[in-house]
Amino acid sequence: MADIIVSRGGVLVNIENLSIDGQGRLEIDIMALLMTCVVVISEGVAKLRELREHGEYKNIDALGECQRDAEGRGGRALKEWNIERVMLYITIFILVGIQTFLIFWITNPFKKLSLKETLEVSSDFVVILGVFFTIITIVLAKKSLESGVYQLEEMRKQRFHSQEPELFLEPKSFEVNYQNQNIIFHAPWKSNDLEFDEKNAVRLVISNIGKGVAKNIKIKLFFEDDYFNRIMQIDYVEVFDMKMIEMENETMLFQYKHGDKRKGVSMKSYYVEEKQRIFHHYVRPENNFEVLLDRYMFEILNMHLFLNAANFLDAGNIFDAKFKLELTYRDSFDNEYSKEIDVIFPISSVGAQLIDFPYGMDVEFQLQTYDKTSHKKYYKNS
């Protein structure tokens, strides 16, 4: 069990029921936590902070790294109440002071005042007192207005959150048989007795795990810029004859050999900056829809998986097959959400077996996702 530095009330302590397993997973025994808390993970360190009954905490970050936790506008209602109480105490103190001064002034044995003079002095104090009360009223009204605006903003956010959608790419397990290293592959992926290949495209399942309808869903699938150069580096024996070609318009073209001996081998091309674009009208809460993976992206991922399997024992020179998925969608209030997902295909096992061809590899792998922080745009007229 790894020691994790945990922040609680400004004091650093070790929490034994937080552990990281061999796969980098953080395990928390929620039954052992007797408080409402939040866990912040940054640069391999997990920090746990207890949440107060009144208040909010915000994470202050820079360059994607959590720098510190700070109390934001936490306990706003409590603060407003403290301000009003202080103002009330000041008012009472001044009133008592004025009353004492008036009594001393009127009853002063060393200074005899006529009734007219006493009334004039009293009227002056009444005017001063009126101005003072006016200032106090304005200050309290301003604080009350700020508190009301804050409460309305919180109610507005709660209304948004109650109808906020959240799209999630479902994980899935696959297996594939690569039959012979000399054959440039038609290698279908298998999952739950279903086969997927260039003709029967892989189906990516996107679910709405939020509370509201997601509409006007725009999806982009693409590879990172340096992805193709990295694949070429692990194709040691040039099984796929990969190459990068710069076109006249300065766009880069990735070429690779694909097919099999029975049907013929040909060179195929894929633009490095190519993005598969998909549009979906809407998806309700607790529902999902399917996105078909482009056949060229499937072929490139298939080649990468084969190269990883062939070099499985040389783990230092392989990297997970992956691509990017960008989601943009709107909720019922027309607020916009966008998120970027890394879709990763790590290999869990590689087995060698005798099949129809002289030698083959049976590979098991999974579709996993890493969701980056969602970006939300709230509109004032919502």
Q: Specify the pLDDT at position 53.
A: 60
Give this prediction's pTM: 0.61
- Boundary of a domain, candidates 71, 86, 115: 71
- Residue 53 maps to a domain: yes
- Boundary of a domain, candidates 118, 143, 162: 162
Same domain (yes/no): 187, 263? yes
- Boundary of a domain, candidates 111, 135, 162: 162
- Residue 144 maps to a domain: yes
Q: What is the mean pLDDT of residues 4-32?
A: 52
Same domain (yes/no): 365, 240? yes
Same domain (yes/no): 174, 97? no
Same domain (yes/no): 220, 309? yes
- The percent of residues above 90 in pLDDT, for the chain, comes to 25
Query: Using one digit for the tens of pLDDT, what is the confidence trace for 116-158?
Result: 665 666 666 667 767 777 877 787 788 788 888 888 888 877 7
Least confident interval from 92-106, 197-211, 289-303 = 92-106
SS (H, E, C) 185-198: CCCCEEECCEEECC
Same domain (yes/no): 185, 146? no
Indicate the pLDDT class of residue 352, thresholds 50, 70 and 90. Answer: low
Same domain (yes/no): 196, 292? yes
Contact at 8 Å (CB) between 167 and 339? yes
Rounded Cα distance between 94 and 90, Å, is 6
CB atoms within 10 A of CB 287: 12
Rounded Cα distance between 121 and 107, Å, is 13
Ranked by mean pLDDT, the top range of 14-23, 136-145, 235-244 is 235-244
Contact at 8 Å (CB) between 269 and 253? yes
Same domain (yes/no): 269, 305? yes
| SS3 state at 322 | strand
- Residue 382 maps to a domain: no
Same domain (yes/no): 242, 156? no
Surface-to-core class of residue 328, CB atoms within 10 Å of its CB (0-12 exposed, 13-18 middle, 19+ buried) = middle
Q: What is the mean pLDDT of residues 64-74?
A: 47
Same domain (yes/no): 214, 334? yes
Q: Is the pLDDT of residue 223 over 90?
A: yes
Q: Specify the pLDDT at position 121.
A: 63
- Residue 206 maps to a domain: yes
Same domain (yes/no): 279, 198? yes
- Residue 320 maps to a domain: yes
Same domain (yes/no): 197, 91? no
- Nearest in space to 47 (alpha carbons), one of 80, 9, 101: 9
Q: Is the pLDDT of residue 91 over 80?
A: no
Q: What is the mean pLDDT of residues 307-336?
A: 85
Same domain (yes/no): 251, 321? yes
When the pLDDT of each residue in the chain is averaged and rounded to a whole number, the result is 75
Least confident interval from 102-116, 299-313, 353-367 = 102-116
Q: Domain total for the chain?
A: 3
Length of the chain: 382
Instruction: Provide the residue range defining the domain that includes 371.
Output: 167-377
